[in-house]
Chains A and B, each alone.
Chain A
């Protein structure tokens, strides 16, 4: 594969005494979605801002589309012609209507997409007379997304693109992003919604405290470890249950009365667990079998989300 669209190496961003990003490294390949997830204050937005030239970095190297980003952050207009940015907060002219704003931004790029078509794809009526100021938060996110993609970027930074978007809006967004990515665009996406990550991400970077705590594909992160969770009596004697588990299987009471069994992929083992549960008064409705969710994994990695 050709050189990555974005290479961030040991990025440090400080605000006075506070360190927002502490030696973070991330690479975004062309034709892939790289999702950066983590709790509020993890350093996601600071990282994006340092990459797009809106934030001075304290140290580290950032290379965008093969060009080294200067320390003061400013990207050359030549590079800016090839990227698209959706900022987390505002940035939209409040008194403008969506189509005129997207058209204006399109006019700044050498080979833009059709503004009306793009807005339509994102569920915004291009003919609307409503000003951006009067639109809902979700609608404003859709307009901001159109602004980011209208220049047909090779690399798009989308900072919490689905915040406030309804389910239909998220589907429209996912489809559009997938299309762009299949056409070769690299997308760097920050989000709190695991739905976005599961549907879009080729590569997931979990960030906490300004550092990468885990990176890989969704499958890498979730693992293929089947688990069983159930609610039962408080502080049950688990020795009988441990006895039926294969080597390496564990069972823990992770919160009082809530049990998590791992290493139980085999249906024979499952039936033994079910038998144990029957003896201990666990109802069927209190028993769940399946893979850990991505959210569970991320929460276990960062402690919160």
Chain B
């Protein structure tokens, strides 16, 4: 009706694109209004950045590249906290409150809902990354040629972890999602190669950690920000592989109610 002259297929496509953007705008608004969400995506990462920059809690961060390493670490933490933890929890509780049931009766397709959520998560992530990077600049960090690669890694990592966030939300009840999403977040940043590099972990843990997307993400981010280089194919493959599996599970387990 908004497109009387267009062929039916263009009308469908433009309708779908419009609904995805509409939903993304809505999700972004809700995310930015949620205090807990902002704490998780912005306040905690900034806190971690300050702790890494000013203290020697994590010896591997110390050294000439201290600020770059700290920023890379914190950006990876942000990808996992908002791409995975927040998204999983928000989706699970929207299902419990019936908000998803309501959307399920509207013309919004589930792929459009998930697309909207992904875009909104990406938008909030960019805001969070900008804030964190701003704080790093205030502390004396200067952007390097690797910044563009960092954005690529950010997008790739967000897609991968968001797929798992949606998958987790579809697999468990809301309360269980809350516990598991937070628990996994802590495990991944501590033992998944994010804050503590895999090389500093005990051998058996390290071997396992090297297969995780958290290690690939953190390593790719360090390579980009500290080294100014693109991520290796291996890192990309791990992120894409985990992302694909997550997306398949998400597609199979997603329910409106």
Using CB atoms and an 8 Å cutoff, list the residues of chain A in contact with chain B. Answer: 52-54, 75, 77-78, 80-81, 83-85, 87, 89-96, 100, 104-105, 107-111, 147, 151
Residues of A within 8 A of B99 (CB): 90-93
Give the CA-CA distance A84 to B105 in the complex, in Å: 7
How distant is B10 from chain A, measured CB to nearest CB, in Å? 14
Instruction: Report the Cα distance A95→B256, complex, angstroms.
Output: 19
Contacts of B22 on A, CB cut-off 8 Å? 104, 107-108
- Cβ of A108 and Cβ of B106 under 8 Å apart? yes
Report Cα–Cα, A109/B1, bound state, in Å.
10
Q: Contact at B106–A151, with CB atoms within 8 Å? A: yes
Query: B residues 65-110 with Cβ under 8 Å of A?
Result: 94, 97-99, 101-109
Count A/B pairs, Cβ under 8 Å. 71
Which of A95, A104, A108 meets B107, CB within 8 Å?
A108
**Alpha-carbon separation in the docked complex, A39 to B2 (Å):** 44
B88-137 residues at the A interface, CB under 8 angstroms: 94, 97-99, 101-109
Contact of B1 among A52, A85, A90, A111 (CB under 8 A): A111
Cα distance, A199 to B138, chains bound together (Å): 68
Q: Are A90 and B97 in contact (CB under 8 A)?
A: yes
Q: Decide: A91 and B2 in contact? CB cutoff 8 A.
A: no
B101 touching A54, Cβ below 8 Å: yes
Task: Let me know if B2 and A87 touch, CB within 8 A.
Answer: no
Instruction: State whether B30 touches A110 (Cβ < 8 A).
Output: no
**Bound Cα distance A105, B99 (Å):** 11
**Interface hub of A80, A104, A109 (most chain B Cβ within 10 A):** A104
Task: Please name 13 further chain A to chain B contacts, defined as beta carbons within 8 Å, in addition to the given A80-B107, A87-B98, A90-B99, sorted by A numbering.
Answer: A52-B105, A75-B105, A77-B107, A89-B98, A92-B99, A92-B102, A105-B106, A108-B22, A108-B23, A108-B103, A108-B108, A110-B15, A147-B102
Q: Kindly state the separation between the CA atoms of A104 and B98 in the bound complex, as whole angstroms.
A: 16
List residues 14-48 of chain B with CB under 8 A from any CB of chain A: 15, 18-19, 22-23, 26, 29-30, 33-34
Complex CA–CA separation, A53 to B105 (angstroms): 7
B37 to chain A, nearest CB (A): 11
Is there a chain A Cβ closer than 8 Å to B253's Cβ?
Answer: no
Does B257 count as interface, using CB distance less than 8 angstroms? yes
B109 close to A77 (CB less than 8 A): yes
Q: CA A52 – CA B30 in complex, angstroms? A: 26
Among A94, A95, A105, A151, chain B packs the most CB atoms within 10 A around the CB of A105
Is B98 within 8 A of A91, CB to CB? yes
Listed A/B pairs (16) with beta-carbon separation below 8 Å: A80-B106, A80-B107, A87-B101, A90-B97, A91-B99, A93-B94, A104-B22, A105-B102, A105-B106, A107-B19, A108-B103, A108-B106, A109-B107, A110-B1, A110-B2, A147-B102
The answer, among B18, B26, B256, for a CB contact under 8 Å with A104, is: B26
Q: Tell me the bound Cα distance from A111 to B1 in angstroms.
A: 7
Contact yes or no, B98 A95, CB < 8 A = no
State how many angstroms separate the Cβ of B249 from the closest Cβ of chain A. Answer: 19
Residue of B nearest to A109 (CB): B107
Whether the Cβ atoms of B101 and A91 lie closer than 8 Å is: yes
User: Across the interface, which residues of A come within 8 angstroms of B30, CB to CB?
Assistant: 93, 95-96
Q: How far is the CA of A109 from the CA of B34 in the complex (A)?
A: 27
Residues of B within 8 A of A90 (CB): 97-99
The distance from the CB of B53 to the nearest CB of chain A, in whole angstroms, is 34
**Min CB distance, A79 to chain B, in Å?**
9
